[in-house]
Every structure is written in structure tokens, then in C-alpha cells.
Amino acid sequence: MASHPATTPYHKPVEPDSSAFFKVAAMLLGILVAVVGFFALMMWADARSSRDSASGAAADTPAATHDHATDHNTALPLNSFAGVVPENALALAEAHKPYDAALQPVPAGDLVKVQMTLKDMTVEIAPGVKYDTWAFDGHGAPGPVVHVREGQTVEMTLKNGGAIPHSIDFHAARIAPNIAFKDVMPGDSFTFRFRAGDPGVFMYHCGTKPVLAHIANGMYGAIVVDPAKPLPAVDNEYVLVASEWYLSDDGIKQPASLDMAKARAMMPDWTTFNGYANQYVTHPLTAKPGDTTRFYVVAAGPTLDTNFHVVGGLLDRAWVNGDLTNPPQNGVQTVLVPAGGGAVFDVRLDEKGLYPFVSHAFAHVDLGQVGLLKVGNPKGTMSH
């Protein structure tokens, strides 16, 4: 039977040595502090030199010599190409055909048939910056916007024209994922149906493992489900899918592919609305003075949220989290759209002008997640 520790005799001999023990411990602690201090100094010096070289590199980039469109409200050149772009970036941005953000009408009938073909394809994600996606034939990334009305049935046919298995996961569906969202082998196609019973704006994406890689490679899009009882009528409706890109190299001489380490570390090279940096700065979305414009925003990630904000306006109606079954919030400034989530915003702008819409996490603006809503025909440009 073990005795109580307080009564064990072997504690006694320890006491005479305790002062020596503490001396040794203090000495070791002193050495440790010195060593840690040394490494801290080295890390500081290293960080400072890499920061200096980074700012030196930034000053050397062709982008730094361009006369960018400047917005006094954001204190940034709106088309600030923080990533590496070629000399003729601005001309390439002009020549780029923007992703059509306008929401298309709901198809008639109870059944809406949607067909998508996944294909390995090279797309541009910023001026002159090419990326090898696994994406949607005819669209790139994001995929086509699906627009239905609450109560309609979606019949989804996924054709895998790529080299590896893929799948499609609709956040708007209540369905057994092991059946409907299963992997489809290259060359195969698969059809499933779901009833669009919940109004909102939802993400869809490839759910094949590793999902981080499949989403980062461009396999995502938005589905808008109108409520059975319509929302207030508005003048313009646009869909914006926010996402970020992690590049293996700059993508200028040859297409970049995914850098999985950057994706895990959440250090994107570019962030975008509808797959291409700053595209609506060069090719603004439009409205007339007095119009109310509705934005359906999805943050596809794969990992980063989007903090939606319109410079010079307020979100007059904000259906946070895309919940269209409750009244919206009113007159709010910035709303978080979480990765894998969506939200709907109505913005009324009376005065003609150029109104930037951004993710107000400003690193995202610098990396390309910014666009302009051009209200009326304002004089001059953002570089006035």
C-alpha cells in the first residue's frame, strides 16, 4: 500500500540541494533568454530586409509606373495590380471581355434543366495573367449563374470533360450528398434533381477531395432562388461571385497552376469578383440616377470571406446570409459574406457618379476585389 507523499522520507534529502538547483535553473534561464533574444533580433532584421526588398520590387514593377484610376474614397488606385502584370496591363484590361454580371430571367415551367461540362481550361484571371483551371466549359470561373424560382425543380446534368473525378454540390439543395454530389468519372455524366425550396443566393461548387484544390482551381458558381413572393422590384440586378487565386508563378509567360501551400496559408495572389481582377473597374456595371440596384453576392472562397461595401452609398436593404424569408436590415454600411455563403443587397444611388463596390477588407481591394457602379454619365474618370 502506497503511503501518502507528505510522509515519504525521500523528500527530505532533496532540501539541502534545492538552492543549488535554483542557481542552475536561473543560469539556464539566463542562457535561454539570451538565445531567444538573439533569434528575435535575427528575425526582426530578416523581416526588415524582406520588407525593404518587397517595397523595392513593388517600385520596380511595371504597374507602379502606370497612371491608374484613382479613387479618393479608397485612397487606392482602383486597378492596383498588386500581383505581377505585363507592361501593357491596362490595354489588356480594356480588351478583356468582362463576365456578364447581369442576372438573367428565370426560365419558365416547373422544371429547369441545367447542363454543365467541366473542362480543364486556361483562363485569364488578371490582365495578361493566365491560370490552368478545372472549370466550366464556356464560362471559366465562376460557372454559369443558375436562376430559378422557389418551388421549381432543378435537373442538374454534370458532364465531366476533365482528366480527374469531379462533382457538384449545391448549397440550395436539401439532398443526400453521398448520392447527388458523388464523384463523376472523366468522360461520364450524371443527372440529379432537387427542389429549390429555399429562396436566397447560394454557392455551388465541386465537392471532390481535396475540396480546397477543386474550388481554388475555379469550380464554383452561384444559384439565385427567387422567393415565391417576389422581393421589391428594382432597376438592375447583378451577381458577383467573390473568390481568391493562389498561383504557382506569375502566370505571364506560361499559365500558372495552384500553389497548394499558399492556399493552405491563405495567401492569395489575386482576389476577384467574377474571376478576373478589377474587371468592373475597367468595364463598370451601370445604373441610372435614382435607380435601385440589387447585388447578389456569393463568397466562393475557397477560404476568404468578403466584406461587401459600396463606397458613397449604403446598403439600403441587406438580406444578410441570403435569408429572404425575413425582412432585410436597412441602411447598413458593410456586411460580411462568409466563405461558402451569400447575401442580397439593394443600393439606391441618386447622384450620378462612379461608386466603387469592394470587399472592405482592403487587402482584397489591392489584390483585385473591386469594381465600379457607374451611375448616369459622370464627367471624367476615376483618374480625374
Out of 119, 214, 283, 374, the residue judged to bind Cu ion by CB under 5 A: 214
Distance, in Å, from the CA atom of 240 to the CA atom of 310, rounded to the nearest integer, reads: 13
Q: Is 206 in the site for Cu ion (CB under 5 A)?
A: yes
Q: Is 208 in the site for Cu ion (CB under 5 A)?
A: yes
Q: Give the nearer residue to Cu ion in terms of CB position, either 214 or 294.
A: 214
Determine the residue type at 40.
Answer: A
Cβ neighbour number for residue 73 with a 10 Å cutoff: 13
Determine the interface stretch with Cu ion among 136-144, 202-210, 269-277, 334-342 (rule: CB under 5 A).
202-210
Nearest distance in Å: CB 128, Cu ion: 26
Determine the interface stretch with Cu ion among 141-149, 163-171, 276-284, 350-358 (rule: CB under 5 A).
163-171
Nearest distance in Å: CB 273, Cu ion: 22
Paired strand residues for 203: 222
Determine the interface stretch with Cu ion among 72-80, 123-131, 200-208, 257-265 (rule: CB under 5 A).
200-208
Distance spanning both ends of the chain, measured CA to CA: 89
Residue with cell 536561473: 26
Nearest distance in Å: CB 164, Cu ion: 7
Nearest distance in Å: CB 131, Cu ion: 15
Question: Minimal CA–CA distance to 363: which of 281, 268, 259, 298?
Answer: 268
Q: Is 116 in the site for Cu ion (CB under 5 A)?
A: no
Q: Give the nearer residue to Cu ion in terms of CB position, either 159 or 214.
A: 214
Q: Which residues contact 1 (CB under 8 A, 6 or more apart)?
A: none
Site for Cu ion in 215-234 (CB under 5 A): 219
Residue with cell 454543365: 116
Out of 166, 309, 317, 360, the residue judged to bind Cu ion by CB under 5 A: 166
Residues near Cu ion (CB under 5 A), total: 5
Question: Minimal CA–CA distance to 101: which of 286, 311, 245?
Answer: 286
Q: Is 205 in the site for Cu ion (CB under 5 A)?
A: no
Q: Is 119 in the site for Cu ion (CB under 5 A)?
A: no
Residue with cell 483551371: 133
CA 267 to chain centre: 12
CA 6 to chain centre: 61
Q: Which residue is nearest to Cu ion (CB)?
A: 206
3-state secondary structure of 273: strand
Which residue ranges make up the site for Cu ion (CB under 5 A)?
166, 206, 208, 214, 219
